[in-house]
Homo-oligomer: A and B are copies of this chain.
Amino acid sequence: MKEIHVVVAENVKAYRKANKLSLDKVSELTGVSKTMLGQIERGDSIPTITTLWKIANGLKISFTSLIKELTNDVTIISKNDLLELPGNDGKYKVYPYFPFENDKQFEIYMVEIEPGGYLEADPHHEGTEEYITVFDGQLELTIVGQTYLLEKDHSIRFKANCKHAYYNPGNELTRLNMTINYPSM
């Protein structure tokens, strides 16, 4: 995961090379100084939003093409590779397989809850939704005082902008897939 200004640097440089433009020419087109363009391309300086806007507009390219990181084609992750996020009682374990990244609007976790394990979650922002599929065991989900019991192979979708809690009421490990969708305003 590169720093955003490094991503910008690579994208600006790539565009300039692809179109055989000098720093002078880009400076002319964009109204940003040649020196600053060099600094940006070398990652020596972090441009303001206005400077970037000038570059995008001057070159007539989309803003997002400047900030978009080329993703690896294939990424493989094992649970062993992950740093387990702390639940509050040691019986609730969260594995962040695909954490939130700015170019997509969701994140994916695997969650394991031992019998009796419990977690109370703070409300997410307005419009956020959770999708949970139970692969093993049972899950008792409480949303604003309303309790839902999910068996194996059950799934649930709910708005996550209110207080909610997860609990394993059974006597075997609960394993579930959790996808959290954030609204794109």
Give Cα distance in the complex from A67 to B156, angstroms: 24
**Shortest CB–CB separation between residue A16 and chain B, in angstroms?**
11
* Interface class of chain A by DSSP: mixed
Could you tell me if A63 and B67 are in contact, using CB atoms closer than 8 angstroms? yes
* A50 to B61 CA separation, bound complex (whole angstroms): 20
How would residues 146 to 185 of chain A score, 1 for a CB under 8 Å from any chain B CB and 0 otherwise?
Answer: 1010110111111100000000000000010101011111
**Size of the chain A interface, CB-CB below 8 angstroms:** 73
Whether A52 is near chain B, meaning CB under 8 Å from some CB there, is yes
Residues of A bordering B, CB below 8 Å:
3-5, 8, 11, 15, 18-19, 46-50, 52-53, 56-57, 59-65, 67-68, 70-71, 73-80, 97-98, 100, 102, 104-106, 108, 110, 125-127, 129, 131, 133, 135-136, 143, 146, 148, 150-151, 153-159, 175, 177, 179, 181-185
User: Lowest 7 A-B CB distances belong to which pairs?
Assistant: A65-B185, A79-B153, A177-B177, A4-B53, A75-B157, A135-B135, A46-B48
